[in-house]
Amino acid sequence: MTRISTWLRDHLANKMTSMRRIDLAASAASGLLICLLVWFGGVGAWLTNAHAAALVNVSDVLSNSAPSTVATHAISFTTVSPVTSAQTIELTFDPTGSAFGNVGGVVFGDIIFSGATLVAACGAGSDEVTLSTSSNKVIFTVCSGDTVASGTKSITISNRITNPSSTGSYVIGIGGTMTDSGNAMVAIVDAVTVTAAVDTSLQFTISPLATGTVVNTATTTGQSATTSMAFGLLTPNNPKILGQQLRVVTNAKNGFAVTLQQSSNMLSASGADINTFANGNNTSTPSPWVSPAATIDATTTYGHYGVTSDDSDLNAGEFTSGGGNKWVGNIVTPRTIFSNSGAGDGITQDKGTAKVALKIEISGLQEAATDYQNSLIYVCTPTF
């Protein structure tokens, strides 16, 4: 009886030891499983964050930079990552101050979207996005099951959004729930439209030129101002020339371009006008100056004005080659009058600074008036 009790006690003790070993093994396995889950979770989060990237080639070109005016925004950028189903591309106008007006009023018909297919409602396409807005955002949502491939996107929003009432630089944030993000910048300055991109600097200034300043071999006959050119009384066959100094300071890798455009011919309240060089033909190719033809009853030949630039490497020296002193009249649409393929320092000729001049001459047939005028608009656009 004693031997049986002893055997039974030892047998039960061995069973308990085995059970404790099984419990410890199970606990260790559970701990390993939890550690693996935590580790894989951390790696997953790390891998997700590793895909985030900055947008490249970001810019927003305004059609009009004047405060409190409606302007078209031509926004372009390149995504590194695709934008997938239900993700959003959001354009946030002035994220900190919401200074742009009527962003919430943007509608489907205002937008041209290149790089994705903008639709009113999701359909059978593979890269469709729909539009929604808020007080300072224009939002594009990728349709269910669709994917917008990485690459260049161009979004033009026409004549809907109102510029801030105060001059200065403003951010347009480009982001949303898509992986990539970045910022564009625009400068609101009277008669100057300026664009900028992520982590860049840009300054564009216009300064007057004094009487006797040489611009592309032509000599100014009067003093200009920063925001005006007053030719005063014009007399037949006596050309007058006024000019301005342009300076661009930017670290844009791919350079910049400055364009000039007129609002109209120089008009009088009487309906009379002074036409563009030469004899109202809107000359596009820089050409030597000629006096108005003064052909009776052909009013476009009574007087004209043109523009020149001393940027000597602009389009292979189109203004300065062959001795310079060449002029164009075609400023009805934006005309490039100063550019550089790299950064601008505001000092170096052709790379950071250039001079432009406006020359005007009338014949004895030019209609009498004391109020001829128009507006010139400079636009400086860097490419990053």
Q: What is the bridge-based pairing of β-strands 151-162 and 168-175? A: unpaired
Backbone angles phi and psi of 75, in degrees to 5: -100, 130
| Short-list 54, 65, 73, CA closest to 155 | 73
Q: Is the pLDDT of residue 34 over 50?
A: no
The span from the CA of 304 to the CA of 301, in Å, is 7
Q: Mean pLDDT throughout 212-240?
A: 97
Q: Mean pLDDT over all residues of the chain? A: 88
- What whole-number distance in Å separates Cα of residue 308 and Cα of residue 239? 14
Mean pLDDT of 314-337: 96
- How far apart CA 314 and CA 354 sit, in angstroms, is 11
Q: How many CB atoms lie within 10 A of CB 311?
A: 26
Please indicate whether residue 226 or residue 191 has the higher confidence score (pLDDT).
226
Token pair, residue 9, equals 């006690």
pLDDT number for residue 82: 97
- 80 vs 152: CA distance, rounded Å: 9
What's the whole-number mean pLDDT along residues 232-245? 98
- 41-51 tens-digit pLDDT: 333 333 334 44
Among 132, 124, 125, 78, which residue's Cα sits nearest to residue 104? 132
List, for residues 250-292, the tens digit of each pLDDT value. Answer: 999 899 999 999 999 999 999 999 999 999 999 999 999 999 9
Q: Is the pTM of this model over 0.85?
A: no
Q: Which amino acid is at 181?
A: S
CB 355 within 8 A of CB 244: yes
Q: How confident is the model at residue 53 (pLDDT cuts 50, 70, 90)?
A: confident
**Predicted pLDDT of residue 190:** 73
d(CA 278, CA 291) in angstroms, rounded, equals 8
Between CA 380 and CA 384 the distance in angstroms is: 13
Run of H or E residues at 302: none
With a cut of 60, say whether residue 12 has pLDDT above it: no
Q: Are 106 and 72 in contact (CB under 8 A)?
A: no
pLDDT at 201: 86
**Residue-level pLDDT at 9:** 54
Q: Examine the pLDDT at 239 and tell me if it is beyond 80.
A: yes
pLDDT digits 0-9 by tens, 297-315: 999 999 999 999 999 999 9
220: left (phi over 0), alpha (psi -120 to 50) or beta: beta
For residue 63, pLDDT over 60 is answered with yes
69 close to 130: Cβ distance less than 8 angstroms: no
- Work out the pLDDT band at 15, boundaries 50, 70, 90: very low
Q: What is the pLDDT of residues 131-187, one digit of tens each?
A: 999 999 999 999 999 999 999 999 999 999 999 999 999 999 999 999 999 999 998
- Cα–Cα distances (Å) from 272 to 205, 292, 294, 328, in that order, read 33, 16, 15, 22
Percent with pLDDT over 90 in the chain: 79
